[in-house]
Amino acid sequence: MQAPSPVPLSDLDALARRFGGERHDAFSERALARVYEEFLSRRRTALGTFVLTADGKEYANLFSLLGEPETAISTFEIRLDPVPADGFAWEFLRPFERIVLHADGSADLHPLVPGPPVRAIARILLREHYLPRSRSDMDRAATGGQRVELAGLFGTMDQGLAACRHQGLLPFCVAILLYLSDERVPYEFDLVRNALLADPRAGRLATSRRVRRTSRVSWGLDRTVARGDLSLLAARALAVVVESQGLTAVELAHIFGGGRELVDSALQGLVARRLLTFDHRTGIYRPRVEAFLPTRGARAEPVPLSLAVAGSDPALRTSVQELIAAADARATCPLCGAPLPEGPNTILCPDCAAKVGGV
pLDDT digits 0-9 by tens, 178-201: 999 888 999 999 999 999 999 999
Tell me the CATH number at 225: 1.10.10.10
Domain count, the chain: 2
CA distance 316 to 243: 17
pLDDT digits 0-9 by tens, 107-126: 999 998 888 999 999 999 99
Based on the domain organization, do 109 and 235 belong to the same domain? no
pLDDT digits 0-9 by tens, 268-299: 999 999 999 999 999 999 999 999 987 654 34
Q: Which of 169, 199, 229 is the last residue of a domain?
A: 199
Based on the domain organization, do 70 and 148 belong to the same domain? yes
Which of 358, 101, 326, 91 lies closest to 216 in space, CA to CA? 326
Based on the domain organization, do 152 and 248 belong to the same domain? no
- Point out the least confidently predicted range of 70-79, 86-95, 230-239: 86-95
- Point out the least confidently predicted range of 45-49, 100-104, 245-249, 255-259: 255-259
pLDDT at 301: 36
Q: Which of 138, 167, 199 is the last residue of a domain?
A: 199
Residue with more model confidence, 141 or 67: 67
Based on the domain organization, do 302 and 346 belong to the same domain? yes
Q: What percent of the chain has pLDDT over 70?
A: 80
Decide: 358 and 183 in contact? Cβ < 8 Å: no
Residue numbers of the domain that contains 186:
1-199
Based on the domain organization, do 108 and 21 belong to the same domain? yes
pLDDT at 108: 96
pLDDT at 332: 62
Based on the domain organization, do 87 and 127 belong to the same domain? yes
pLDDT at 220: 92
pLDDT digits 0-9 by tens, 218-263: 999 999 999 988 999 999 999 999 999 999 999 999 999 878 899 9
Decide: 172 and 39 in contact? Cβ < 8 Å: yes
Burial of 308 (0-12, 13-18, 19+ CB in 10 A): exposed
Label residue 70 by pLDDT band (50, 70, 90). confident
pLDDT at 2: 56
Based on the domain organization, do 92 and 119 belong to the same domain? yes
Based on the domain organization, do 185 and 230 belong to the same domain? no
Based on the domain organization, do 160 and 89 belong to the same domain? yes
Based on the domain organization, do 151 and 231 belong to the same domain? no
Decide: 163 and 129 in contact? Cβ < 8 Å: no
Based on the domain organization, do 230 and 173 belong to the same domain? no
Based on the domain organization, do 195 and 208 belong to the same domain? no
pLDDT digits 0-9 by tens, 304-338: 333 333 344 555 444 545 544 444 434 566 666 66
CA distance 188 to 292: 21
DSSP one-letter code for 214: -
Q: Which of 175, 199, 223 is the last residue of a domain?
A: 199
